[in-house]
Amino acid sequence: MKVAPQRTYNKSAMINPPLPLEKVKSPRYEKHQVQTFKCRVDPTDLNSSQYEIAVPFFDAGTPEEWIYFQRCLERAFGGQGDTTGPQQYKKVRMLLQGEALTAFEAFVTTTANHKETLNSLKEALGAVTDSVFPKKSAQVQKRYLRRFLRKPKEMPIKKFAARVTEINSNLTYFPKENGKAPSPLPTDEVVDMLEFGCPPSWQKEMILQDFDTTTATVKNFVEFCERLELVEGFEGRTGKFPKREASEERKRPHKKARSTEHTGPKRNKRHNTFNSGFYCMYHGKDKGHDTKDCTVLKHQARAMRGQHNAQKHSEKKNFRAKKEFAAMIGEVTEQLFAKMTPVQKRQMTPDFPVPEPSKQLVAAFENASIESSASSVTDRSSASSSTSSSSTGGQSDKRMTSSDSSEN
């Protein structure tokens, strides 16, 4: 038996209200897409000032566009003094197109004993509203306001409260449910929704300052939240006042701007060190990194690895052989130096050149063992030392005889 995995849903995406919090910008209509009406402030007075209203033609659109159309239509009725049913029917038929006009005419033709009155016009426009809005739109809209309404971070509190108030007032344009037109929510409930949509830090301040939202109006609530919004603007996220930005004249383009994102340890400006437990074998203690993170050592290691890899295999073997041969020469030299007389040691100076080994001595080292080769080299060196001593003795005898002859 397979068990279906539990699904996770985004609560804010589970409800798509007919009127979202982020208001969609109304499109710019061209001249052939709108009908302009010349209106008067007082239609009964021919000398009153005039104004124009551009009502867009409506075919099919969003609930927001349908509500905008009805508001423009009401202004056109009032500006031109259309108070009778036939006058208003005429304008509605002139402005509706496509699907909207089909739904309007279907209601007019299917209604028995239909007469062009103001009440019958509202019912005919209600039929168009049913075709534009989704099912149970008023219930879904109120549920969204009560449960899922949250103020966006970038939206100011004044704009947030104004949009919520606008949505609440537009509930009268929603379709009827069970034969009753939806009514707007009361003011105390609107303030409660605004409070629930604010950040938790603001709600905490309301409790600390004893701000009662049950008795406050929307205006009082907005004024209180604007002060909190102003304080957050001063403090920012770090709790400090924001620094003034340098003007264009004071900015120095030749200097690179320091990065504000620093995730490493805090630098001690007085001693130019880092107060941390880092230690580097090359740079020392408290230099901001460990040995494993030192870029200098890594670069040196890469260079040494490249030199080692660049050598051939034969060169590596010759290098090891030369190293062993040099160690052997060093041991033999130490033994010879230990057997030398004090006079011979005094005759040696730091600049005394060490003779290179002869070919026979090299062949002896290659074919014989270390001990045998060392003994042979010792014998040869002793022989050479004896000959040198005899030669020095002969020279001294000659000097003695020459001195005696000179005295005689």
Tell me the Ramachandran region of residue 236: left when phi exceeds 0, alpha when psi lies from -120 to 50, beta otherwise: left
pTM of the model: 0.54
Is residue 39 located within the same domain as residue 120?
yes
How many domains, the chain? 4
Q: How far is CA 290 from CA 253, 270, 275, 278, 296, in A?
A: 34, 22, 13, 5, 12
Assess if residue 331 is contained within a domain: yes
Burial 93-108 (b: 16+ CB within 10 A, else e): eebbeeebbebbeebb
- Contacting residues for 279 by C-beta, under 8 A, at least 6 apart: 285, 286, 290, 291
For residues 288 and 264, the answer to whether their CB atoms sit within 8 Å is yes
Largest CA distance in the chain: 176
Is residue 327 located within the same domain as residue 298?
no
At which residue do the structure tokens 């022989």 appear? 383
The pLDDT, as a whole number, for residue 236 is: 58
The pLDDT, as a whole number, for residue 1 is: 42
The pLDDT, as a whole number, for residue 244 is: 58
Is residue 334 located within the same domain as residue 388?
yes
The range of the structural domain enclosing residue 387 comes to 314-348+356-392
For residues 88 and 95, the answer to whether their CB atoms sit within 8 Å is no
Is residue 219 located within the same domain as residue 197?
yes
Is residue 103 located within the same domain as residue 79?
yes
Among the candidates 181, 210, 235, a domain finishes at 235
Among 190, 202, 203, 198, residue whose Cα is nearest residue 145: 190
The pLDDT, as a whole number, for residue 323 is: 76
Assess if residue 203 is contained within a domain: yes
Assess if residue 9 is contained within a domain: no
DSSP-derived letter for residue 120 is: H
Give the rounded distance of the alpha carbon of 260 from its chain centre: 13
At which residue do the structure tokens 């040995």 appear? 291
Among 97, 35, 36, 26, residue whose Cα is nearest residue 62: 26
CA distance 364 to 366: 5
Is residue 47 located within the same domain as residue 59?
yes
The pLDDT, as a whole number, for residue 361 is: 57
Q: Model confidence over 192-205: pLDDT tens digits?
A: 999 999 999 999 99
Q: How far is CA 396 from CA 22, 145, 391, in A?
A: 117, 124, 9
Assess if residue 261 is contained within a domain: no
CA distance 210 to 191: 15
The pLDDT, as a whole number, for residue 43 is: 87
Q: How far is CA 17 from CA 144, 178, 368, in A?
A: 7, 20, 99
Is residue 289 located within the same domain as residue 334?
no
Is residue 286 located within the same domain as residue 229?
no
Mean pLDDT of successive 10-residue stretches along the chain, which has 408 residues: 47 74 82 89 88 90 91 91 90 92 91 87 92 92 92 92 94 89 92 92 91 91 92 64 55 52 51 63 80 85 82 66 79 75 64 53 55 48 47 45 43
